Amino acid sequence: MADTPKAPPRRSTQGRQKIEIKKREKVDHRRVTFSKRRKGLFEKAAELCVLCGAKVAIVTFSEGRKAFCFGNHETDAMLEGYLNGRNLGEIEPSGAYVRALNESKQLYLEASMRLESERAKGKCPVRLARPEGFWWDTPMDGLGLEELEYYHNALERMMQIVQAKIEEGSNTGPGPAPGLGFIGTAGEQSLL
Amino acid sequence: MADTPKAPPRRSTQGRQKIEIKKREKVDHRRVTFSKRRKGLFEKAAELCVLCGAKVAIVTFSEGRKAFCFGNHETDAMLEGYLNGRNLGEIEPSGAYVRALNESKQLYLEASMRLESERAKGKCPVRLARPEGFWWDTPMDGLGLEELEYYHNALERMMQIVQAKIEEGSNTGPGPAPGLGFIGTAGEQSLL
DNA sequence: CTACCTATCTATAAGTG
DNA sequence: TCACTTATAGATAGGTA
């Protein structure tokens, strides 16, 4: 059918389009998609943590060599525990500080959602800043080799978890790992 | 409106329900949700990898202390590069083996989707087995030390292979990497 | 735990600022 | 780069097997 003589109801957008799951041709599209989907991925991960009491750690590297990490203190605590050769069978919440973290987690999400609905009504000029060390979502500039190394060390320790689990029950654990403060030190460099 | 005297169109389900993002009360729900959402998370991650040429690594620990990992060869290769203090500026695809991996990635996803649509039509009795070493999505049962060892060994072996490839540099050329089938060997242990 | 089904809920591709 | 909008594609809660 040809277009009608009447006003073509030119929609402001065509809405979400279906795309093939293959590398996006245009660099620009790749970047936008990475941005959006990384955000979505981290949010899903956050929900998974809260809904199921799970621990999740994610590291992504964009094509542009920027790294982003997701995790929470629980994860860090867990890693730290392994690192120090303790709590090898202790992934479950193991203390007051963990409980406290669970609470902030909950509070963060609640606040986040409250904020969102407020903003939807155009009432809230404020924006949620960095959730005070709860989620890490820290871009690491590819030029900062030290940070990358730091990151890599963190990941490597994660692999040690597997090793630790294997040795679990008969071993006090390997060396203490210095500086497990992990990523979020100064953070906040503007990337790209 | 009350139901009509006619046949109540008793819907088989109520469809997706909205849930609050807070820890699910019932253990059972937590487990089911973890299962479903972890799967969803990994799928999103896979799509992010393919669409944007990104590298993603995820580690999750369920409440029940089972760990699941997600990653791809590119990620590992990248990490391996850092590990050895080389390729520090070389996150970009750096050789034939990376290209080959990108291709298998693409092929896997295509096959996966093809399969899915076939299954949707009830025509395909086959099921995609372990994707032949591309994605690792291997649960590590805390009780199955052997499996843990197997997993760990596979990871280690894989890293060695990648390392070898990196060192080879210009050696064998674009041939299909011989050892790159890392995990998929026996795999498939029934978990839980 | 896994897979499937359905009805919904949610994420997101494009476009715009 | 991020934020907002719209229309639609995709994810998933609850239920069943």
Residue nearest to nucleotide C8 (CA to C1'): B16
Which structure tokens are listed for B16?
Answer: 């997706």
Distance from CA of B179 to the nearest CA of A (A): 21
Cα separation, B96 vs B102, in Å, equals 10
- Considering only CB atoms, A54 lies closest to which of B34, B52, B54, namely B34
Cα separation, B49 vs B111, in Å, equals 16
Q: What are phi and psi of B69, to 5 degrees?
A: -120, 150
The pLDDT-based confidence of B36 (bands split at 50, 70, 90) is: very high
pLDDT at B135 exceeding the cut of 80: no
Most trustworthy range by pLDDT among A172-181, B66-75, B157-166: B66-75
| Mean pLDDT for chain B overall | 51
User: Given this model, what pLDDT does residue B17 score?
Assistant: 93
How many CB pairs below 8 A link A and B?
168
pLDDT tens-digit profile of B110-120?
443 443 333 33
Cα separation, B184 vs B133, in Å, equals 5
User: Given this model, what pLDDT does residue A58 score?
Assistant: 77
Q: Specify whether the CB–CB gap between B69 and B152 falls below 8 A.
A: no
- List own/partner pairs for B143-148 with CB under 8 A and 24 or more apart: B144/B189, B145/A165, B145/A166, B147/B189, B147/B191, B148/A162, B148/A165, B148/A166
Q: Which of A82-96, A170-184, B35-49, B144-158 shows the lowest per-residue confidence on average (mean pLDDT)?
A: A170-184
User: Given this model, what pLDDT does residue B30 score?
Assistant: 93
The pLDDT-based confidence of A33 (bands split at 50, 70, 90) is: very high
User: Given this model, what pLDDT does residue A119 score?
Assistant: 39
pLDDT at B34 exceeding the cut of 80: yes
For residue A175, give the DSSP letter.
P
User: Given this model, what pLDDT does residue A57 score?
Assistant: 72
Q: Under DSSP, is residue A55 helix (H, G, I), strand (E, B) or coil?
A: strand
Nucleotide at minimal C1' distance from the A28 CA:
D1
Contacts of B152 in chain A (CB under 8 A): 159, 162-163, 166
pLDDT tens-digit profile of B42-99?
889 888 888 888 877 777 777 765 666 676 544 444 444 333 333 323 333 333 333 3
Q: Do B24 and A52 touch (CB under 8 A)?
A: yes
Q: Specify whether the CB–CB gap between B162 and B77 falls below 8 A.
A: yes
Interatomic distance A39 CA / C9 C1' (Å) = 19
User: Given this model, what pLDDT does residue B45 score?
Assistant: 87
User: Given this model, what pLDDT does residue A34 score?
Assistant: 93
Interatomic distance B17 CA / D14 C1' (Å) = 8
Edge-to-edge strands, sheet with B55-61: A67-70, A55-61, B55-61, B67-70
Looking at chain B, the whole-number percentage of residues with pLDDT higher than 90 is 9
pLDDT tens-digit profile of A55-88?
777 777 777 656 566 665 444 444 343 333 323 2
